[in-house]
Structure 1
Amino acid sequence: MESNVVALNREMCRSRKSSMYEFMKILQLRLLSIRVGNIREHEFFSRKFDNQLLPIGRHGLTAGWLIDSMDQILSTDNIRNIKCHQLGSDGFVSQIMRVTVEFTNNEIGKYIVKMPETTNIKAALEMTTQQKMPEGADEQFIGGLTMFFNREVDFYLMDKIPGMRLPQCFHSQRWDHGKTTGAIVMQDLQDMVSVPYYDSLNLQQIASIGSQLLNLHVFSIGLSNEWKEKFPFPMQFIDTVSNMTDIVKLYVSRNPVLQECFSKVEKMYNSRALFVHLLRDSHKILGIDDFLCHGDLWFYNLMWLPTVAGSDSASDHLGAIIDWQNIHTGSIAEDFCHMLTFCCDTKTRRFAERTFLPYYFKQLKSKAKEAGKKLNLTLSQFLRAYRRNFVAHALHLPFITSIMLCVKPAEDEEVQRARNEDLIEKVLGAWEDALEVMHDEYPNFPF
């Protein structure tokens, strides 16, 4: 699929040339999944591996625990030294440690240990709201975090989806707060890179992501009850996006150019019923079965091979999809909506909607037939499912834009201003298209 879109990519190039407490509750789901770089620094000093008590993170896990958990790979007999340090790419609710193992045969093994925690949430909220949060305020996230972290654990314990590019998982254990530390030990993807949130994917990259979604969607046809029961649609997501109006208003107040368009979409933000319909039910009303969704397919969960070894620049080849803690059953269009809305400028998104999505549907029909599966879906249904689901992500976009500009600002004010202007254009484009969809699909809104 990736090589077949070169012509479309050229056409795209031609096209380019021519043309608080309540706040904390609102942020909950988003902060459970965003990886943006460390907010607080924690030092872990490596030392000579002379016992099994070397701490791995702050949650009671040790080198001895790691050896026991990976007994088919590690043993005290073949280890000379273990070092660990915290990565600068922690999520808001994860501590991520890189563990380097020096073996007696002089080989080196590198592993990632991911553990749930809420330490960084408070700092993130204070940066975004510019208000001091009370001590212990981040503890309210534990209930939701437990659910999401354990979903990712369960995902890695399931049978692998054929063809999916994932980090290899060596060990995982569910989190039982106060009893058992949750942990996932996986492959270190240190040679891969991500595209920054203020940039845009290109069509070739979209195609590379599409080749992975093909595997996910073909696997979802005739999905087993085990998968459906394990990963139901998370209503916590509805609770988040249907309560973000105040934050979007704050962003609009900081950027008055958004005010006119916001006045036209504001009533949509105030309808929880609309979000439930768009995200959970709209595809079912069209007669489309549930498919597996990654649920957070955006910049920092897409890991790319670099253009050259050691470069921070992403190539057009997707290396892996990470952070499966929001995996669920839902609309076949959801991951496309999330990725195209959040990760593409307006021109790229609209071009992909016109050209790539129909192409993708043809590929999906072909792959389903090759797999001996019947795809009960028409192109019209697929595109309408996309348009409906897109509205919710268009409304969600300025909420995330506001957060990211605060927690990961540019060092230079002019660069920050330029980034914000680009993101404003993306928000306006998303709102304009959402209004068009609402006019076509839901002329009788509000309902």
Structure 2
Amino acid sequence: MANTDTAKLFSNEDFAGEMLSDSVVSNGFIVEKLLDGSDQFREIMKCSKIKTICGKDICESNGFTSKIYLVSIEFQQENGNSSEQQKFSAVMKTVCPKRVQDSIMSTITDVNKNQKDDIGKEEFMEKIAKNISLIHNQECDFYTLFGNISKEIMPLPDIYYIQKSDLEKDTPGVIIMEDLTESSCMVPIYEGLSVQQIKTIVRHLAAFHHFLLCETDANWKKICGKFVFEDCENDFGDRIVENVVEWNKDYFEVPLRKLKNVVKSKQMIYALRECAQEFGLPELLVHGDLWTNNLLWKKTADGSNPERVAAFMDWQLLFKGNLAVDIANIISCCEPDVRKELESFILEYYYDEFSRRMHDSGKSVGYRIEQLRKAYEYAFISKTVSMCGMAHMCAQIKKEDGEDKNKTLAKRAKIAVEDAVVLVERIAPEWLCL
């Protein structure tokens, strides 16, 4: 229910108390938060009333841990002149733990259906709900600390309002941010990223890592400890492997089962975090989910392939660990031949960019390219299993995209897994499941 003062901002005061679409907040709630967080919105409201608010689910119900709404607001001048209407839009992200639970259980089926409670479903789902709340709150902490960072270093959307999730109080998690839908675009996962796009991303990562080490205090270390899903990995990962194999035996039965140990907690934690310490790399803030759908690109006037990043999105899986994880994640979004071309030079490219910035600040890098390459190898191994899970999930929930497109993802994952098996045989044969 909107308060009386907020209701007066609407042409129809009853509209303030109505919920935005099927979201967890009211129209009045959104207006209150935009008044506090957006200079542009406040300026419009000086001589206007709100005529309409509409909320559209722009994830088309495919968001994994949240729902994302495009909030469109139309105004009417206080003199009633409808010919002078203005518009304002924002994007609202809300976390939905129950929805995530349903999505996980429908995607990761229990392959041993006849065994009673073989995955401890109730305990597992409770853990998932807590983790969903946790990762939203970590994203809130990230935007609180870095919301004003230079977009030349790390492009982020402007943030208007942040509300942390509290499961005990049933408080929904909410982030209201700048609308970039008109000025930016995503590269479809099926198309794959280009070499130039990867180089652009890597330059931003190098700039951000330098910023963390040289230009900010250490408060960022407090917002991310362990990898948030590590307690679930043994159950969660095993079922990803078995369900992917059941889905496509021809591609994955032999190579993926060899990597089944990779998704155990001990190995995953080593690849994502501990190997960085062992190889002498600094533990840095890792995005953790850097792939095509979490990158917005600035549209080009002629419609050509975009090469400038508008925003790095969805920092909910961030953690402190192996800086090479983000590099491994993003080049896994390329076609196999492009990935292999990138692997021949992209680590040196990152290292040169990072070294230049460190030297300009009078600081030493502290590690050699060989150490970075070792960390990348473990990051790549850990990534390949999730690539298979992503290919499987897209085949289940994006059937309308067509068989050929889903085959593209499956083939991309198959080749990555085969490459990972060769890598494990060389650097960590004890991880193989034979």
**Which range, TM-score by smaller chain?**
0.7 to 0.9
* 2:380 corresponds to which of 368, 390, 404: 390
What is the DSSP-based 3-state SS (H/G/I as helix, E as strand, rest coil) of the residue aligned with 1:221? helix
Change (3 A) 1:106 1:361: same
Residue 71 of structure 1: how far off its partner (Å)? 2.7
Q: Does 1:62 align with 2:17?
A: no
Change (3 A) 1:173 1:272: closer
Q: Does 1:194 align with 2:202?
A: no
Change (3 A) 1:138 1:86: farther
What is the DSSP-based 3-state SS (H/G/I as helix, E as strand, rest coil) of the residue aligned with 2:204? helix
Per-residue CA deviation, residues 135-186 of structure 1 (Å, 9 max, x unaligned), is 9x97764311110111111111114333211111011121223353321110
Percent identical pairs in the alignment equals 23
Query: Equivalent residue for 2:410?
Result: 424
What is the DSSP-based 3-state SS (H/G/I as helix, E as strand, rest coil) of the residue aligned with 2:290? coil
Query: Equivalent residue for 2:4?
Result: none
* 1:292 corresponds to which of 263, 285, 310: 285
1:370 and 1:161 map into 2 onto residues whose CA distance is: 19
What is the DSSP-based 3-state SS (H/G/I as helix, E as strand, rest coil) of the residue aligned with 2:317? coil
Change (3 A) 1:327 1:129: closer
* 1:149 corresponds to which of 136, 151, 169: 136
1:53 and 1:76 map into 2 onto residues whose CA distance is: 21
Residue 386 of structure 1: how far off its partner (Å)? 0.6
* 1:96 corresponds to which of 62, 68, 82: 68
What amino acid maps onto 1:299 in structure 2?
T
Q: Does 1:354 align with 2:339?
A: no
| TM-score of the pair, normalised by structure 1 | 0.78
1:130 and 1:265 map into 2 onto residues whose CA distance is: 21
2:18 and 2:323 map into 1 onto residues whose CA distance is: 45
Q: Does 1:232 align with 2:204?
A: no
Query: Equivalent residue for 1:25?
Result: none
Q: Structure 1: where are the runs of 5+ without partners?
A: 1-46
Q: Does 1:116 align with 2:95?
A: yes
1:429 and 1:241 map into 2 onto residues whose CA distance is: 24
Q: Would you say the 8 A contact 1:111–1:187 is kept in 2?
A: yes
Change (3 A) 1:383 1:393: same
1:398 and 1:423 map into 2 onto residues whose CA distance is: 8
Residue 229 of structure 1: how far off its partner (Å)? 1.4
1:329 and 1:266 map into 2 onto residues whose CA distance is: 24
After TM superposition, the structure 1 stretch with the greater mean CA deviation from structure 2, 400-409 or 255-264, is 255-264
1:277 and 1:85 map into 2 onto residues whose CA distance is: 42
1:391 and 1:238 map into 2 onto residues whose CA distance is: 19
Q: Would you say the 8 A contact 1:242–1:270 is kept in 2?
A: no
Q: Would you say the 8 A contact 1:118–1:139 is kept in 2?
A: no
1:95 and 1:154 map into 2 onto residues whose CA distance is: 19
* 2:55 corresponds to which of 79, 85, 96: 85
Higher relative contact order (CA 8 A, sep 6+): 1
Q: Would you say the 8 A contact 1:282–1:385 is kept in 2?
A: yes
What is the DSSP-based 3-state SS (H/G/I as helix, E as strand, rest coil) of the residue aligned with 1:189? coil
After TM superposition, the structure 1 stretch with the greater mean CA deviation from structure 2, 259-268 or 343-352, is 259-268
Q: Would you say the 8 A contact 2:259–2:432 is kept in 1?
A: no
Q: Does 1:406 align with 2:396?
A: yes
Residue 363 of structure 1: how far off its partner (Å)? 1.2
Residue 352 of structure 1: how far off its partner (Å)? 0.7
